[in-house]
Structure 1
């Protein structure tokens, strides 16, 4: 059986667990990168399967039938411990872990820095694809606290105990760049771009956690609030959600509809910071 692994695991921490039964390592990077080098035993998953991919809100969770097909295809069981990584600093890996959390599967870890850190640390790799072992997967009780539906977001975004963490670029947040009918941000939202937590000098590992926690606190993103992350399609903000989980934020959620839904809806309020 897979040993107990922490939510944030280093390459050195994962190495001794390779080959453990019950451990499922999932590579969510580009297929071309996976074919060149991946963590031994890792399967490759096309990140497009993690979203519904239908307008106006392509980032919504797949429907139940699609979720069962997806999770069965990778061989997920209640006892499986999933380790996710990618080649972009954690966006798609975070999305998979957020999805697992949403369906009530809590046995998961994130490989800090993904394939870049793994290679930089001189860890062993494979180039031959690992084939998953499909199972018949049936959804159980979902974790209804993981995802925030549109109606709740519209009703609660101004609550005093709620802080909206906008993980998009500053240009998107300000309204100078838009990928929806409306540009700007949800009123009262706080900006902290998803890449700010990454250490580009250390192969996209997470930066010092105390430093990240302090930066978030300066912007009002603290663990005593209900924190809701979003971006355009809840890809980038899935990493922000994951960072919050790693920091010990027990009450952190993701708005899967994100700006694609909010910015295209005729009845949503919007703020801009154009200067």
Structure 2
């Protein structure tokens, strides 16, 4: 395992499953029930399920982003019930090139737990490898998950407004290029991007099969960044931006911050789009 990544063969060969917590994060924005249905039809043996809307996000308010960060009080007991201890390796997977698994990867690190990895190739790689599949939902365990929030890992709307045009600040939009340009907006009521943002599509961290590019190619994605830059990453609602944050970590870049509200919060605040 390197750079917070584990292969399907390596996960299948884990001899001490008690030290590993596997989390199925499959989800569909178009069909929010699909991920749980897929999990019920078959998942990696011993895997628990976390839903983007119900578990990895707080309820959406009248204003703000579509997927507010969950509170520690809401999610930490669920993580403890997976048996997560300080030394537990958490492995997250989905079938969407890490779109939703990376949200959990980032959340755990944001809450002070660095032993977390994405399954390279996701669910498809596990199935293609012919590894066992289960429909059994594992019983709750008695874990000990005590969040230690790294409060300097995020910025809010007002901080983005205040900092985005400062010298040395790089604001990165992780959405598709046509959404960034404002040619298309299938989810939010306004099209466009935050003025001054540059576009780096999150899926460029992977190949066409959903396997992550090697570290040298992750480094090439961010070759324009300087070590002293202040980096802020966003997407529509703080989910797929986490794939870019994973990519930066794989490239050896630290200190990048997430704007969780993303474009959905920015446009709902009636800020004129670019």
Whole-angstrom CA distance in 1 between matches of 2:143 and 2:14: 25
Give the corresponding residue for 1:240.
244
Whole-angstrom CA distance in 1 between matches of 2:111 and 2:231: 19
TM-superposition CA deviations, 1:197-232 (whole Å, max 9, x none): 2211xx310124323422332xx3455423222111
Q: 1:151 to 1:134 in 2, by over 3 A?
A: farther
Deviation at 1:134, TM superposition (A): 4.0
Q: 1:186 to 1:125 in 2, by over 3 A?
A: same
Unaligned runs of 5+ in 2: 27-34
Q: 1:73 to 1:269 in 2, by over 3 A?
A: farther
Unaligned runs of 5+ in 1: none
Whole-angstrom CA distance in 1 between matches of 2:258 and 2:269: 18
The answer as to whether partners of 2:24 and 2:94 remain within 8 angstroms in 1 is yes
Give the corresponding residue for 2:254.
250
Answering whether residue 126 of structure 2 is matched by residue 118 of structure 1, we say: yes
Aligned equivalent of 1:198, options 206, 211, 217: 206
Deviation at 1:62, TM superposition (A): 1.7
TM-superposition CA deviations, 1:28-51 (whole Å, max 9, x none): 112333334432322222222101
Range with greater deviation from structure 2 (77-86 or 146-155): 146-155
Whole-angstrom CA distance in 1 between matches of 2:141 and 2:263: 34
Whole-angstrom CA distance in 1 between matches of 2:143 and 2:15: 24
The answer as to whether partners of 2:86 and 2:145 remain within 8 angstroms in 1 is no
Map of 1:1-275 to 2, 5 A cutoff? 7-29=4-26, 30-48=35-53, 49-55=55-61, 56=63, 57-120=65-128, 122-135=129-142, 139-178=146-185, 179-200=187-208, 203-217=209-223, 220-221=224-225, 224-266=228-270, 268=271, 270-271=273-274
What's the RMSD between the two structures over aligned residues?
2.3
TM-superposition CA deviations, 1:13-61 (whole Å, max 9, x none): 2222154322101111123333344323222222221011313323221
Q: TM-score, normalised by structure 1?
A: 0.85
Q: 1:136 to 1:18 in 2, by over 3 A?
A: closer
The answer as to whether partners of 2:84 and 2:145 remain within 8 angstroms in 1 is no
Deviation at 1:68, TM superposition (A): 3.0
Q: TM-score, normalised by structure 2?
A: 0.85
Whole-angstrom CA distance in 1 between matches of 2:225 and 2:74: 34
